[in-house]
Structure 1
Amino acid sequence: MARQWEMSPEHVVDARPATTVGALHLPLRQAVLDALRSAIIDGTYLPGERLVEEEIAARFDVSRNPTREALHALSVEGFVEIEPRRGARVATMNARWAGELFEVRAPLEGLVARLAAQRRTPADLVHLRDVLGAGTAAAAEGRLDELPALNTEFHMSLAAAAGNELLAGTLARLSDIIRWVYAARISMRSTRSWDEHAAIVAAVADRDAERAERRGAEHISAAAAAYED
């Protein structure tokens, strides 16, 4: 049975002649890249599954060039592995790979929480609590498909409250990989993860920078331990 998934509205590609490609809001390669990345993150394509260039090109009604370029871009991002004479497949997450990601994230998230506690505005706190409420409710009600996006929104909102654009940009570049790893283990920590988020927000609300940093780092360490189990 053919897979059913779509590009977002701004990425919709129809069967018009190639001369209309320049009129697209984003380059064709970017449209295919974004759609493929989303399909990998949400589990449409599973770790280790082959990604056949011709099939993907036909699915999107595009030529093989933007498809090939998108696959190479995803290999740089870590989502795809390309083997000579064997083609592309979805990358396989392993303990070492995930461990390296968590090693990078723990100090970053701790710093984000510390700075957010020091710099957050009342509006930042309102937004953090709104996202926290949405995530906690989704976890409690078993709406697991909503949690990866809400988890990303929580951490990026915390980064915005930290008021450091370089730090926020660093986390943004990791956000898709983080979301992929989170989705792979989501059922294990759905409620506990949002309890940890609540502890971070409480420290940020109290402007307790040291406690916020500790809670932020502990949250990532707990996620790492759950992934290894």
Structure 2
Amino acid sequence: MRRQWEASSGATGGETAPDLDHGPLATVGSLHLPLRQAVLDALRASIIDGTYAHGERLVEEEIAARYDVSRNPIREALHALSVEGFVVLEPRRGARVATMDARRAGDLFEVRAPLEGLVARLAAERRTDTQLGQLRRVLGVGNAAVAAGRIDDLPALNTEFHTTLAAAADNELLASTLARLSDIIRWVYAARIQRRSQRSWCEHAGIVEAVAAGDGARAERCGFDHIVAAAAAYED
């Protein structure tokens, strides 16, 4: 289904994506986002979910036709995605999807492991009963998705789990730091989702158990080991 966004050939980031009246794309229009932001979000999501594969050429004309917009917001979105690390802009060759190689993924895991350990420890020390209930709810939904084989649901649920855990840690700087990494994390997670799905949610359960017990040291170990295990799976 094509994105029915009205845009003239002179569209700019200040234009607004109109309401869409059907399908999953309606959520984009209903937010009344500026056109550039709507295209940026949609294109980023298509890279994360594998619609555009690692290393694939991104042709402005084709993307503009797919989203039914002019080339201006596409060009702006590609530039923004290059800053975020999803796209590589090559002189005289155009844009292509970046490649998440082992070195780049390793850098991400190296940074993320101690941060997630800290998040888990602080969550164990600071969480409220309401936040613990939210963690248990997401854990239950994630386990049900794994059991039912709903693999496509897991990247968003994984993000929700870690976002909920970060909120329970009650440290705004830590939460915002991880939020800036969240889209790249989802991209890496999606690449190994089949291999890691069941084990990953078992590890989530261990984190929740430690958080529920108020055991900061154990929660920190579980959070750190969870990312180390993810790194090992990515390298295999």
Alpha-carbon separation, structure 2, partners of 1:93 and 1:70: 19
User: Residues 201 and 124 from structure 1, CA distance in 2 versus in 1: closer, same or farther, beyond 3 angstroms?
Assistant: same
Code of the residue aligned with 2:231 in structure 1: it is A
Secondary structure, aligned partner of 1:88: strand
Among 188, 196, 204, the alignment partner of 1:197 is 204
Contact 1:5 1:39 in 2 (8 A): no
Secondary structure, aligned partner of 1:70: helix
Contact 1:159 1:168 in 2 (8 A): yes
Q: Does 1:211 align with 2:218?
A: yes
* Structure 2 counterparts to residues 1-229 of structure 1, below 5 A: 4=1, 6=3, 13-14=5-6, 22-24=15-17, 25-229=32-236
Offset at residue 191 of structure 1 (A): 0.3
Alpha-carbon separation, structure 1, partners of 2:217 and 2:57: 46
Offset at residue 99 of structure 1 (A): 0.1
- Counterpart of 2:20? none
Offset at residue 140 of structure 1 (A): 1.7
Secondary structure, aligned partner of 2:88: strand
Alpha-carbon separation, structure 2, partners of 1:17 and 1:26: 18
Offset at residue 22 of structure 1 (A): 3.8
Where in structure 1 do 4 or more consecutive aligned residues deviate above 3 Å?
15-24
Aligned pairs, how many?
A: 221
Offset at residue 41 of structure 1 (A): 0.7
What's the CA shift string for 1:103-127, capped at 9, x where partnerless? 0100000000000000000000000
Alpha-carbon separation, structure 2, partners of 1:84 and 1:159: 40
Taking structure 2 as the reference length, the TM-score comes to: 0.89
- Counterpart of 2:26? none
Contact 2:7 2:70 in 1 (8 A): no
Alpha-carbon separation, structure 2, partners of 1:13 and 1:213: 46
Secondary structure, aligned partner of 2:50: coil
Alpha-carbon separation, structure 1, partners of 2:11 and 2:164: 40
Alpha-carbon separation, structure 1, partners of 2:158 and 2:2: 22
Aligned-pair Cα RMSD in Å: 1.7
Offset at residue 14 of structure 1 (A): 2.6
Alpha-carbon separation, structure 2, partners of 1:113 and 1:103: 16
What's the CA shift string for 1:167-216, capped at 9, x where partnerless? 11111111111001000000001100000000000000000000000100
Code of the residue aligned with 1:196 in structure 2: it is E
Offset at residue 16 of structure 1 (A): 6.8
* Identity value in percent: 75
Secondary structure, aligned partner of 2:214: coil
